[in-house]
Chain A
Amino acid sequence: MAAAKKSFVMEHLRKAHMIELLAKGKRLDGRALLDYRPIDIKCNVIQKANGSAQVSLGNTQVIAGVKIEVGPPFPDTPDKGLLVVNAEILPLASPYAEPGPPDEEAIELSRVVDRGVRESGMIDLSKLVLTPGQKVRAVFVDVSVLNVDGNLIDATSYAVVSALMTTKMPELEVSENLQIKEKPNTIPLPVSNIPVSVTFARIGESLIIDPDSEEESVMDARITLTTVDDGHLCAGQKGLAGGLTYEQIMFAAETAKIKGQEIREIIKKVVGSIG
């Protein structure tokens, strides 16, 4: 029932308490600096989608759905299928979200997550070609953010990856005369890698992982680094008006590898249980 204001203002008292705790390596909700909030991933929540996943990261809640269609390729990549990642922060997700077309925050969110999936080579897009230059599979991943409590990038990223990994699509057959016929069985997407993003916030001199809304309201800078299975980095995005030191970035890169591996195991376990 907050009187409508454009954005969240954190109480000075609470902010001072937060800064005091950070200096001691602690956070308001009791986490250590490099702790994630509880992560919960549920797959196959939307039967009408080819793949889907609902992820909660603390109170942040997102749902991703994959739809697979057949259409023409982009003219500059006739030998590749399409991958489109699109995220919307629904007006029901926060008192500060407004109905209307995605704003720059939502577009950055979509693009950062898209980049992680695309650059990791998670999906072999060349295997999605049906008739070169004419018909390819188009993979649409749409994300609806249901409740905003910080770190939408990681929550969205895990939902997209989990949804893609559990996607089932009808097998297609291309006949001699290039007609496309749907076969009765389904097949998974050609997935080979699990990109995992890890997002850091800098508040004063402290670098923390997985900031919640309160922490985001006072953070000076943000950086997201995405790693692939072998620990290599595949995507990155620094955000906000503050800067980061060389040491902070190297520390983040190293931590992203370790934390990324932990989260990759969580995702594998959930996806593996689906079969």
Chain B
Amino acid sequence: MPEVKRKYVIPGELITEGNYRIITNVIKRGNKFYSTRIGLAEYGQEGVRVIPLTGPYIPKVDDLVIGKIVDYSAFAWEVDINSCFLAYLPARNVYGKSFSPRQEPLVKKFGIGDLIAAVVTAFDRTRDPILSVSSPGLGKITKGEVVKISPTKVPRLIGKKGSMIKTIESGTGCKLTIGQNGIIVLTGQPEGVIKAVKAIRLVEEEAHLADLTQKIQAMLGVKEGDG
């Protein structure tokens, strides 16, 4: 494994100097690299980046998100995806290309306050994110507990190759649906859900620390390699 150096940084702070490729949340002046965020800076062969510890959710195409219906018109639902951009779920992405507003009012499918799991199918700097619920497992969420964390900490909650999710799921018997936008839905027995929420809160608090998976494994009594 190539050597990666790490350092806690704040905006404007010098990370390193030399010849690196910028990955993300870094600006270059001369041959010096500075952070633009509060977070964990990493630099090595791959390049230099800052993994932020706070910040808004910026949608990316193919992200799984959990959103809340906040309004609808004749052609689309408006979905709050915990971002600075309001997302749209066009009716044709639900009913098919031949959808006509004469068919049925949208509220019959999803009402204001409904939660949905969806995938971002289009988004760029010039237009709002477009969602789809057409793949299996997407659509209205009818049961479970909703938990919110900072979207910047979602990668940590998922873990390397999903190791953290697996640990929490096997340790609590719960199923986790994690939206990239920081919204998580937990389903399972009430005691399991309480344990899982505690584990999620710990991940959130200590996202900047190493050995987090081991810590959660110890907390939930899961042996390495389980799950």
Q: Report which residue of A9, A13, A15 has the largest number of chain B beta carbons within 10 angstroms of its beta carbon.
A: A13
Contact of A3 among B85, B141, B146 (CB under 8 A): B85
Q: How far is B80's CA from A5's CA once the two chains are assembled, in angstroms?
A: 9
Let me know if A241 is at the binding interface, CB within 8 A.
no
Would you give the shortest CB distance from A2 to chain B, in whole angstroms?
A: 6
**Cross-chain contact B56 with A12 (CB below 8 angstroms):** no
> By the criterion of a CB under 8 Å from any partner CB, how many residues of chain B are at the interface?
25
Would you give the shortest CB distance from A19 to chain B, in whole angstroms?
A: 13
**Cross-chain contact B112 with A13 (CB below 8 angstroms):** no
Contact of B82 among A2, A9, A15 (CB under 8 A): A2
Residues in A with CB closer than 8 Å to B144 are: 13
The SS class assigned to the B binding surface is loop
Would you give the shortest CB distance from A215 to chain B, in whole angstroms?
A: 15
With A9-B70, A11-B68 known to touch, is A3 a contact of B112 (CB < 8 Å)?
A: no
**Cross-chain contact A3 with B81 (CB below 8 angstroms):** yes
Residues in B with CB closer than 8 Å to A13 are: 115, 141-144, 146
Q: How far is B112's CA from A5's CA once the two chains are assembled, in angstroms?
A: 12
Residues in A with CB closer than 8 Å to B112 are: 9
Q: Report which residue of A4, A10, A12, A17 has the largest number of chain B beta carbons within 10 angstroms of its beta carbon.
A: A12
Let me know if B123 is at the binding interface, CB within 8 A.
no
**Cross-chain contact A9 with B56 (CB below 8 angstroms):** no
**Cross-chain contact B113 with A1 (CB below 8 angstroms):** no
With A9-B68, A11-B68 known to touch, is A1 a contact of B114 (CB < 8 Å)?
A: no
**Cross-chain contact B114 with A12 (CB below 8 angstroms):** yes
Within 8 A of A (CB), among B54-101: 56-57, 68, 70-71, 78, 80-87
Residues in A with CB closer than 8 Å to B70 are: 3, 5, 9
Residues in B with CB closer than 8 Å to A4 are: 86
Residue of B nearest to A17 (CB): B145
Let me know if B188 is at the binding interface, CB within 8 A.
no
**Cross-chain contact B113 with A11 (CB below 8 angstroms):** yes
**Cross-chain contact A3 with B80 (CB below 8 angstroms):** yes
Q: How far is B145's CA from A20's CA once the two chains are assembled, in angstroms?
A: 13
Residues in B with CB closer than 8 Å to A11 are: 68, 113-115, 146
Q: How far is B56's CA from A266's CA once the two chains are assembled, in angstroms?
A: 40
Would you give the shortest CB distance from B153 to chain A, in whole angstroms?
A: 14
The SS class assigned to the A binding surface is loop
Let me know if A14 is at the binding interface, CB within 8 A.
yes
**Cross-chain contact A10 with B83 (CB below 8 angstroms):** no
Q: How far is B116's CA from A43's CA once the two chains are assembled, in angstroms?
A: 46
Residues in A with CB closer than 8 Å to B84 are: 1, 3
With A3-B70, A3-B80 known to touch, is A12 a contact of B113 (CB < 8 Å)?
A: yes
Within 8 A of A (CB), among B168-204: none
Let me know if B111 is at the binding interface, CB within 8 A.
yes
Q: How far is B85's CA from A2's CA once the two chains are assembled, in angstroms?
A: 9
Q: How far is B136's CA from A85's CA once the two chains are assembled, in angstroms?
A: 57
With A5-B70, A9-B70, A9-B112 known to touch, is A14 a contact of B146 (CB < 8 Å)?
A: yes
Q: How far is B83's CA from A4's CA once the two chains are assembled, in angstroms?
A: 10
Would you give the shortest CB distance from A50 to chain B, in whole angstroms?
A: 39
Would you give the shortest CB distance from A37 to chain B, in whole angstroms?
A: 19
Would you give the shortest CB distance from B146 to chain A, in whole angstroms?
A: 6
Residues in A with CB closer than 8 Å to B57 are: 1
Within 8 A of B (CB), among A7-60: 9-15, 17
Residues in A with CB closer than 8 Å to B143 are: 13
With A9-B70, A13-B141, A13-B144 known to touch, is A3 a contact of B86 (CB < 8 Å)?
A: yes
Residue of A nearest to B67 (CB): A3
Would you give the shortest CB distance from B203 to chain A, in whole angstroms?
A: 20
* Contact pattern, B 133-173, Cβ under 8 Å of A = 1, otherwise 0: 00000000111111000000000000000000000000000
Q: Which residues of A contact B (CB under 8 A)?
A: 1-5, 9-15, 17
Q: Which residues of B contact A (CB under 8 A)?
A: 56-57, 68, 70-71, 78, 80-87, 111-115, 141-146
Q: Identify 10 new A-B residue pairs, CB closer than 8 A, beyond the known A3-B83, A11-B114, A17-B145.
A: A2-B82, A3-B78, A4-B86, A5-B70, A5-B71, A5-B80, A9-B113, A10-B113, A11-B68, A12-B114
16 contacts between A and B (CB under 8 A): A1-B82, A1-B84, A2-B80, A3-B78, A3-B80, A3-B83, A3-B87, A4-B86, A5-B71, A9-B70, A9-B80, A11-B113, A11-B115, A13-B143, A14-B146, A17-B145
